[in-house]
Amino acid sequence: MSRNNTHSPLRVRAALAAVILTAVGVLGQSKLLTTVHYGDRIEIDVLGSFEFDWRGGLNPEGFLDGFDRAEGQIFALCKTENEIADEVAKLYSRFLREPKVTVRIIDTSGRPNVFLTGGVRNATRFRIMRSVTLQELLVLSGGLTEFASGDVTIFRRPDTSCEQGGNGPERQPRTIRVKISDLLAGDVNANPAILTGDIIDVNEAFPIYVIGGITRPGRQLFRAELSLSRAVAAAGGLDKNGVASQVVIYRREGGASSVIEADLEQIGQGAAADIELKPYDVIDIGIRGRERRQFPPVVDGSGSPPVPREQLPLRVID
């Protein structure tokens, strides 16, 4: 038997799988590009009758905006080019004999963007021109940060995604929740297709903050049973000007603020109990020669880009 048997069952199955995946991607892209969304520019061409040609977009209700070539309105949101052409031909047939109507989407650049924010390296808005999945967008955003909590929330509006087709009172927004651990494990159900207008938030874990006389001041990821001494150690310990006996924890819970004083030297000697931290605690390590703060420090509480979603960098997926 030849050692280079190109017709082995394994290779045949692999080739067949590749063909199927390619076909699915092409069909998904074709449907995306031929289905009308908000922001699209649409052209209606009637063969041999220039006066009945039309070009425009959608109004807020999803009808062809300003289409007044015949009595009656054409609802076009989430319909295909062929479906709209059939409806226009039906209207025109009242006074034209067997009209031949062609409908084309000529510009999709005005479609609602996809927004990806939260615990990613680069929060981004995407203009999608083909089928795309959550995993691909996470990679294109630079991957996850250390503050990603392990969950992703996708908010989907029915009037922008065309997920269910058409429009009406039965169409409701929905929320999709994905566990990153399932996505990394290869669970296909954890890698949904992303649709026009989706808002994706990589949930961030609760933070704490260690500032003052510490080697690496800044934000840390809150974990269950995280103690004061462990948080200080994770920040590299006290710097040369840090004062171990002058530690203040600023805490806010349920609208109430509290101040907790601690002594790291006594905690290290076992003379005082270590303090269990809570989300959003701010640990201020005293600095030699600095007076005690009269007011709680102000820290960057979110870690997210301080810009509106609409001003995030745009990337086109085509």
- Residue ending a domain, among 86, 107, 128, is 107
Q: Which residues does residue 16 pair with via DSSP β-bridges, in sequence order?
A: none
Identify the DSSP state of 206. Answer: P
Helix (H) or strand (E) holding 285: strand 282-287
Residue 302 has pLDDT above 60, yes or no: no
Can you give the residue range of the structural domain that contains 57? 41-107
Quickly tell me which residue has 């280079």 as its tokens: 4
**Which DSSP category does 113 fall into?**
P
**E strands present in 34-187:** 41-46, 54-56, 101-107, 114-118, 124-128, 148-156, 174-179
CA dist list (Å): 53 to 30, 56, 74, 102, 265: 24, 11, 14, 10, 83
In angstroms, the Cα distances linking 115 to 125, 202, 249, 313 are 4, 11, 36, 10
Residue of 35, 270, 284 whose CA lies nearest to 159 = 35
Q: How many domains does the chain have?
A: 3
Find the CATH number of the domain harbouring 252. Answer: 3.10.560.10
pLDDT level of residue 6 (50, 70, 90 thresholds):
very low
Q: Does one domain contain both 123 and 200? A: yes
CB 178 within 8 A of CB 194: no
The tokens 């289409």 sit on which residue? 67
The stretch 107-113 carries a mean pLDDT of 91
300 falls in which pLDDT band (50, 70, 90)? low
Question: Do residue 198 and residue 174 come from a single domain?
Answer: yes
Last residue of one domain, picked from the residues 87, 107, 127: 107
Least confident of 36-45, 137-146, 236-245, 297-306: 297-306
In which element (H, E) is residue 139 found? Answer: helix 134-140
In a domain, 310, yes or no: yes
Q: Give the confidence band of 14 by pLDDT, cuts at 50, 70, 90.
A: very low
Bridge partners of 170, per DSSP, are: none
CB 271 within 8 A of CB 283: no
C-alpha distances (whole Å) from 80 to each of 33, 86, 151, 248 are: 9, 10, 34, 63
CA-based nearest residue to 123, from 285, 287, 317, 303: 303
Same domain, 95 and 222: no
Within-domain flag for 28: no
The answer on 310 and 198 residing in a single domain is yes
Count of residues for the chain? 318
Tell me whether residue 25 is in a domain.
Answer: no
In whole angstroms, give the CA distance from residue 307 to residue 311.
6
DSSP code of residue 152: E
Q: What does the pLDDT look like over 199-243, one tens digit per residue?
A: 999 998 889 999 999 999 998 988 888 999 999 999 999 999 999
Say which range, 17-31, 85-99, 268-282, has the weakest mean pLDDT.
17-31
Same domain, yes or no: 125 and 90: no
Q: What single-letter amino acid sits at 86?
A: D
Q: Is the pLDDT of residue 3 over 70?
A: no
Collect all residues with Cβ–Cβ distance below 8 Å to 32 and sequence separation of at least 6: 128, 129, 130, 131, 196
Does pLDDT of 191 surpass 90? Answer: yes
Q: Are residues 168 and 60 in the same domain?
A: no
259 within domain boundaries: yes
Residue 6 lies in a domain: no
pLDDT class of 294 with cuts at 50, 70, 90: confident
Same domain membership, residue 103 and residue 54 = yes
Instruction: Give the C-alpha separation, 211 to 229, whole Å.
Output: 14
> How many Cβ atoms from other residues are within 10 Å of residue 53's Cβ?
14
Q: Tokens 């998904």 identify what position?
A: 28
The pLDDT value recorded for residue 283 is 94
What's the whole-number mean pLDDT along residues 296-313?
Answer: 70
